[in-house]
Amino acid sequence: MICLYINYPNPHFTIHGNDFCSEIRKMHKENQRKIDVSMGNLDNVLTDFIANKYKFAAKKELNDLWIAITLDSPEQEIGFVNTIQTLLGLQYKPFRNGKIKKHC
């Protein structure tokens, strides 16, 4: 499992792979937007991103999103991250060049 943090309007994607990382605790703060992705709901989540269900704006309630990703392999999880960046880049120009970095 990895966790992906997405930030906007300063677009970046941060991958967290260590459950004990202090940054991951922020995923559980009150009113934090979070999505859980597994093989069982992967198609629905991708459909939601294609339909632009997850809005981003420079407002507290829309400026970030956490995604907990549990797929069958690390390669699939990283592939999902790249797909999300591509889909968001279609809707939000700043995400097109958003850096993907690994934190832990």
Average pLDDT score over residue span 46-52:
97
Containing domain of residue 34, as a range?
Answer: 2-102
pLDDT at 21 over 90: no
As a three-state string, the secondary structure of the chain is CEEEEEECCCCEEEEECCCCCCCHHHHHCCCCCEEEEECCCHHHHHHHHHCCCCCCCCCCCCCEEEEEEECCCHHHHHHHHHHHHHHHHHHCHHHHHCEEEECC
Query: What's the domain count of the chain?
Result: 1
Give 24's pLDDT tier (boundaries 50, 70, 90).
confident
Give 93's pLDDT tier (boundaries 50, 70, 90).
very high
Average pLDDT score over residue span 56-73:
96
Quote the pLDDT of residue 44.
Answer: 98
Average pLDDT score over residue span 24-43:
91
pTM of the model: 0.94
Give 84's pLDDT tier (boundaries 50, 70, 90).
very high
Q: Identify whether the C-beta of residue 30 lies closer than 8 Å to the C-beta of residue 59.
A: no
Q: Quote the CA–CA distance of 53 and 49 in Å, as a whole number.
A: 6
